[in-house]
Amino acid sequence: MPGGALEIDAISKRYGRKVALDGVTFDVRPGELFGFVGSNGAGKTTTMRIALGVLAADSGQVRFAGEPVTHETRTRIGYMPEERGLYPKMKVLDQLVFLAELHGLSTNDAHRATELWLARLGLGERRKDEVQKLSLGNQQRVQLAAALVHDPDVLVLDEPFSGLDPIAVDVMSVVLREKAATGVPVVFSSHQLDLVERLCDRVGIIRDGRMVAVGTVEGLTRGAGSRLVVTAPAARPGWASTVPGARVIESSGATTVLELASSADDQAVLAAALATGPVTEFSRQRRSLTELFRDAVAQGGFT
């Protein structure tokens, strides 16, 4: 079944009276790295557990390649749970072989795949160690290997980057990118927004159990007003106040950052700046995912 999209379609879930998810909808396309972000308790883990089928939704459907995810097809999903479900006393190698066999690989294939991932993730020397004796970062690498060892068609990872050192972050990033490049949809949750922005093709922002934004960071930014950075060394404070629709949001030395209403004309800003003397910088500033996230969480989304 490789090559399909993972579709989360109008999923709702309550825990008692608490509405954890309210009609969550998004898709992760083949070959795409999708970042799933939201505040603590927003509903990321609940969504991912439902996507995997370890938790039942009250309503809505999860599909892969157009088909509802069933008990059988669920073995084709590689999952990295937030609670890190390894057996602490089991040796790394035995653990991975066991998990691969559990997902239907023959003993030979399970050993082959395990050796491959141990080498790939720099865990070769640790193969005979008990999982509990590894550092947290290395345990996390084993978790990643566990999610990948059966060569899944979909990858769902709950905060795979948390607690990793920068080298391990790089290894994880490369592996996820490579996996996506083979046509697999990859979705992961994270609170490291700079990393999500750098790595992901698209992002989804969830707030209080509802999706408030889904798209590329660039696409989401476009709808959120634009900013200009202008450096005019001879300008006096207040030079931009006459331009309709422009608002100064930051001023430092000769540099001013302006927010433009959608009706505002950037050329009018340039003309006003040039009227003060030379202009040494005039550029659009892209808003970061962190800023988008703050807006989405504070206002319940942007349109």
Ligand X SMILES: Nc1ncnc2c1ncn2[C@@H]1O[C@H](COP(=O)(O)OP(=O)(O)OP(=O)(O)O)[C@@H](O)[C@H]1O
| Site of interaction with ligand X (CB under 6 A) | 15, 18, 20, 38, 40-46, 82
Beta strands in 16-49 (DSSP E): 18-28, 33-38
- Non-local CB neighbours of 118 within 8 Å, separated by 6+ positions: 92, 93, 96, 124, 126, 127, 145
Shortest Å, Cβ 204 to ligand X: 12
Q: Which is nearer to ligand X, 162 or 241 (CB)?
A: 162
Report the residue number, 30 or 38, with the smaller CB distance to ligand X: 38
Q: How far is CA 178 from the centre of its chain?
A: 16
CB neighbours of residue 103 within 10 Å: 18
**Min dist. Cβ of residue 143 to ligand X (A):** 16
CA distances from 98 to 67, 110, 113 (A): 28, 8, 11
Q: In this complex, which beta carbon is closest to ligand X, that of residue 161 or of residue 239?
A: 161
For the bound state, the minimum distance from the C-beta of residue 284 to ligand X, rounded and expressed in Å, comes to: 32
- Which residue, 151 or 158, is less far from ligand X as judged by CB? 158
Query: Which CB, 18 or 71, lies closer to ligand X?
Result: 18
Q: How far is the CB of 208 from ligand X (least distance, A)?
A: 8
User: Least distance in Å: CB of 157 to ligand X?
Assistant: 12
Q: Quick count: other Cβ atoms within 10 Å of Cβ 118?
A: 21
Sort 238 into a burial class: Cβ within 10 Å, 0-12 / 13-18 / 19+: exposed
Handedness of CA 118, 122, 125, 126 (dihedral sign): negative
